[in-house]
Structures are given as structure tokens and as C-alpha cells.
Chains A and B, each alone.
Chain A
Amino acid sequence: MSERRLADLLAMWRIRAFEEKVRDLRAEGTIVGSVHLCVGQEAVPVGACDALEPHDALFATYRGHGWALARGVPAQALFAELAGRASGVNGGRGGSAYFTAAEYGFHGENSIVGAGAPIACGAALAGRHDGSNRVAVSVFGDGAMNQGAVHEAMNFAAAFCLPVVFVCENNRYSELTPIADMVRNQRLADRAAAYGMPGHRVDGNDVEAVRFHVRDALEAAREGGGPTLLECMTERLVGHYIGDAETYRQPGELERIARREPIARLREGLLADGVPAADLDAVERGARAEMASAAERALAAPLADPATAREHLYA
């Protein structure tokens, strides 16, 4: 048991260390443009991806670094992509907010809020015809729940009983605005009932809870039960984007949510179970060393070749 929890801790630390490295590289200008970090939300991708099969299709959002890492995309290729290197997962065409790595079952981030949900339906639809029994996972934030495309996708998946798991990462902010100000019923999972599918609110800072619910939803989808909506309650410990002044935060809020964040929580649990602190520190150190080295190797690679900028538009 504690072995799996240690693996979870490592997976979450890898994401956090990656994000903190990205933050530093963005600050020094090695990475440019919009960058959206998922610090504090690591338990959702780690718990969810653990339950996925290689042939399942994952569609994430612009806050997708963690999902890509959890899905197995190499950190070095991600750093390279963020830094505009030829060796990046998309040769510099995707960037932080819109990269894809289909060979790892990571079918892309999306810079358009909610746009991935209908596309995920298509991946599931294709699976119905190619016999793969593939499940598509569509990840989006609480803000996306108010996008028309997400409503259309949920109804489409439900009407056709498509194997789609809709994962809403409810970090309580729609970009810079509290979701509480934007909806009347704050239990977003309740909306599932309107489409005739199961909807559950999950403790998204508890990696085990996420794993349990995603596994359940995947199983139902694979057995022909159709889609599920999971509302994973979490918090980001950072701004919407790097540079966000976070003026919308309440006094003391960050300190409050830091006490619930998934890595500290898991660490406390492991300590209580008798795992030595030194072992836990070693996990963190290992993740940080891996990411420092991956970033270093990524940045040693040449920039994307301008001569290739026009390639791959058409077949």
C-alpha cells in the first residue's frame, strides 16, 4: 500500500518540480508566452492517468503539463516544446498551452476553453467503429462548464452512450473570477443528471479518491454504460497564468488552501504510516533532480528551424 502511495508522491512531485522549473525558466525568459501552471492540482492527473489504458485518449486543457507528465510524456520533450526547441513534442508548434503527444495517448491541450470536449466525443465514437473499446477522457476546468461546447458534448456523449469520462478540475476560479459568482448551483456535478449520466463530486486533492472514481467511470464506459462527469475539487496554489497578480484572492486564502494541497497531505499520511521522513525527502529530491536535468538537456538542443515554419499545413 505505501509503495503505491510513494509512487503517487513521486508522480506528484515530478509534476510540481516540472512546474516550478517552468516558472523559473519563464521568469528568466527562456520560456515565453502564456504559461498556466497546475501547482496544487497534481492529484487529479496522477490519480486519473493511473487508471487509463495506453489506447485511451486524453484531451486536456491549457493547464495540461501535469496531465502530459502523468500520461508518460517525457519531461525533456515537454521542456523542449515550451522553450521552442526543434526536439519539442511538436517541434515548437504547440507551446505551453497547445501541445499534443498522441503517441503517449495525450491528444492535446487546448487553448480554447471547453473545445476539447466535443473532440473527445469523436475519439470515443471512432472507438465504437474500430473495435478498440477506447475510452476518451475530456479534462476541463470549472469555467468550461459554462461553455456551450461542453454542454453539447455531454449531451452528445450521453445520447449516444459514448465511452467518455468528463473530468472537471474545479479549482474554484474561472480564470480570474470565482466560479461561485458565475453559477447558481455550485455543485457542478449535479449537471450530469440533466444529461442522464452519473455525476460525482470528488476530493480532487486526494489522489486515491480520484483514482477510485476515474477507474469506476472507465469501467462503466468500457462496459457500455456511457459517460460520467467527475467534478474534482481542487485548488491551484498559483495564479491563472504566470504573471497573474491574483488580486482576486481573499486574505489568508493561499495559506488556507496550502494546508489541503495534495502533496503535503499525502506526505503527512505516509509519515503517520511510519514511512521515514528521509525517504519522503528523497522522493522530492529525486523529482527535482530529474526535472533539472531534463530541462538542462532540453535547453541544450537547437531552437526550431525557421525553415520548417511552413511545413505540415496540408497532407
Chain B
Amino acid sequence: MPELSYGEAVNAALHRLMEELPETLVYGEDVALPGGVFGVTRGLRKRYGDRVFDTPISESAILGSAVGAAMFGRRPIVEIMWADFSLVALDQIVNQAANVRYVSGGRLRAPLTIRTQQGNAPGACAQHSQCLEALFLHVPGLRVCMPSTPQDAYDLLVTAVHADDPVLVVENRTLYFGPKEPVTTDGPVRPMGGARTRRTGSDVTLVTWGAMTHRVLAAAEALARDGVEAEVLETPWLNPFDTEAVIESARRTRRLAVVHEANVTGGFGAEVVARVAGAGVALAAPPIRIGAPDVRMPAAPVLAQALIPDAARIIEDVKGLIAGAR
């Protein structure tokens, strides 16, 4: 079992997919000869030739051609270098890719995988820091996942590319060069969906995804030292979303906090809370959402840090949730 960082796990998955699915193509800005700005696509061009290529800086052309190639039997894996850049070509994702299967009554399909990365890293400006998952989750027809570990970075991408629907795999660049972990690289293609219980607990359910998972786990460990046992449920697949797992956990702990890096208003945390409320789960305290406040993201690290939830803020908010219990 190789020890891989998150970025290396993505690379390993791409190599596997190119081997086992001859219809795959990998392309995007700087992915072929340079091997990607984060080195994630390194070595692919050399091994797979013109199935891997660099494109003009043209997100509409990248995404639109992926839709067309997918309609004609290819399985393109395209990279949008920063999630923020998907916005210049949102039409191809929302109006085009998401409609292909539905409008054709299933006779056409668009099995493309969009790899992108998002989130705040020190010094990133407001156009390189946004967390946009809620935007894509509002679009029926798109699958969306956000891995946080090397194993999931590998597994989710393999699953996404094998899927016959358009899938967005939203990575996080703060994780690419993280610690290496043993990664099973020859396992079966896993089904979409499912939650990961990263920590068990009985006092509160913390639902989270993406890079925030690591902060939530750190917060949960600290809370335990203060006598609060938090259950941490990571939901790497946001569509399909494992609502049942969240409801089941919330029913047991009777307290719910959803933690995401994205800003709160209209975030997917609202949807999670609504689903739990709609299921009639009797909670001991009103559920809370922990996310960035509704502001733009500043470049200066000290300013950005003041906005994005860290372990300290999660601890504080969860303690407030517990204290407010009646």
C-alpha cells in the first residue's frame, strides 16, 4: 500500500483511470507538459501522449468541449485550475452538462469529470479563495464531492470518472502537500455517496466536509478534553448527500452543528439543517451553522484568518450550542 499525500493520491487515481478506461482524456490549463500548477497531473502526458493535453486559457472551451466529447463516448477529466475560474464558464456546467441526460431522455449522456480546487490559502486573493460548492449543489443533474483525505482524494476521483454523469470533484489546495498516508490504490470502484464517521460522540453532531474536516476534528479532540464528546460526520459526497446518516446521528446526540468554509448565507449548511428539521428530529438546542461570515475574502493572512472558522471558533460555538441546551 503506497504512502501518498493528497496531491499524489489524485495523481495515482488519474494514472489508474487512464490505464483502465481508454476513453479518458485529461486536459486543462497547464496540466500536460507542466504537470499542473500543483503537480497533480505530473507524468500523465509522458505516459499517455495526446490523451493528455494543455489548452488555451478558455474555460468555456475546456468545459464545453468536455461536454461534447463526453456525448460522443469519451470520458474527459478536465481541470479548472481554481474553482473561481469556473464562473467564467458556468454556462457549460449549469446550462449544458447538467441538461444533456435529462433533455435527451437518457439517450445522450455527459460523463465528464471536472476537477477543481478551492478554499483559502495564506495570501490568496478574493478571486482565488471562494468556496462555491453550494452554487453547484443548487443545480440538479450535477454530482459534487469534496475529499479531505488522501484515500478519499483517490477513491472519489475514481468513482467520479467511472460515473456516467457530470461530476465535480472539488479538491482543496491546502491539502495537496499534506502528510502522506497509506492509500489503497487497487480497490474496487466505490459507490457514490455515504458519510464518514471520523469520530464518535454522544453530545453533539458536527457535520462537515472538505478541508474544514481537519479543523473540526482538532476542535472535537479539544472539546473532549473539556468533557464534550462530539461526533464528527464528514460528508465527502454532497450530491448524493447522505441525509440519513446525519439524521441518525443528530437523533442520537440531539445537537447539530454544520461547519463549512463557505460563507453562511445560502451555504449547504442551511440545507443540512433544513433536512434534519424537516425530518422532525427533536433537538435539545437550535441547530447552528458555522462558516465564514458573508464578506469577501481578504488577501492578508491575518484578515482571512479572522473570517474562516478555525478550531478555536468551532470550540467556542459548539460550547455555546451545548450551553444553550434546554
Enumerate chain A interface residues (CB-CB to B < 8 A): 57, 59, 90-91, 93-94, 98-100, 102-103, 107-108, 110-112, 115, 117-127, 129-130, 134, 136, 148-149, 152-153, 155-156, 159-160, 311-315
Q: B73 — which chain A residues lie within 8 A by C-beta? A: 126, 130
Q: B56 — which chain A residues lie within 8 A by C-beta? A: 152, 155-156, 159
- How near does chain A come to B162, taking the closest CB pair, in angstroms? 10
Residue of B nearest to A160 (CB): B53
Bound CA–CA A153/B58 (angstroms): 8
Question: Could you tell me if A126 and B74 are in contact, using CB atoms closer than 8 angstroms?
Answer: yes
Question: Could you tell me if A152 and B60 are in contact, using CB atoms closer than 8 angstroms?
Answer: yes
Give 4 closest A-B pairs by Cβ, nearest first: A122-B68, A118-B64, A126-B72, A122-B65
Q: A153-B64, A315-B165 are in contact. Are A93 and B69 (CB under 8 A)?
A: no
Bound CA–CA A91/B74 (angstroms): 26
Question: Could you tell me if B95 and A122 are in contact, using CB atoms closer than 8 angstroms?
Answer: no
Bound CA–CA A119/B108 (angstroms): 13
Given contacts A130-B74, A148-B60, A313-B101, 15 further A-B contacts (CB under 8 A): A57-B68, A57-B72, A90-B103, A91-B105, A93-B102, A102-B107, A115-B92, A118-B67, A119-B71, A126-B69, A149-B89, A149-B92, A312-B104, A312-B106, A315-B111
Is B248 part of the contact surface with A, judged by Cβ < 8 Å?
no
CB pairs A–B below 8 angstroms (26 shown)? A90-B104, A90-B105, A91-B105, A93-B102, A102-B107, A102-B108, A107-B68, A107-B108, A111-B95, A115-B64, A117-B64, A118-B60, A119-B71, A122-B65, A122-B69, A123-B72, A125-B25, A125-B74, A126-B73, A129-B25, A136-B68, A149-B61, A153-B65, A155-B56, A160-B53, A312-B102
Is B125 part of the contact surface with A, judged by Cβ < 8 Å?
no
Question: Could you tell me if A134 and B72 are in contact, using CB atoms closer than 8 angstroms?
Answer: yes
Q: Contact check: which of A126, A136, A152 meets B58 at CB < 8 Å?
A: A152
- How near does chain B come to A266, taking the closest CB pair, in angstroms? 34
- How near does chain A come to B7, taking the closest CB pair, in angstroms? 27
- How near does chain B come to A307, taking the closest CB pair, in angstroms? 14
Q: A103 — which chain B residues lie within 8 A by C-beta? A: 107
Residue of A nearest to B68 (CB): A122
Bound CA–CA A122/B72 (angstroms): 8
- How near does chain A come to B129, taking the closest CB pair, in angstroms? 24
Is B260 part of the contact surface with A, judged by Cβ < 8 Å?
no
- How near does chain B come to A109, taking the closest CB pair, in angstroms? 10
Residue of A nearest to B99 (CB): A98
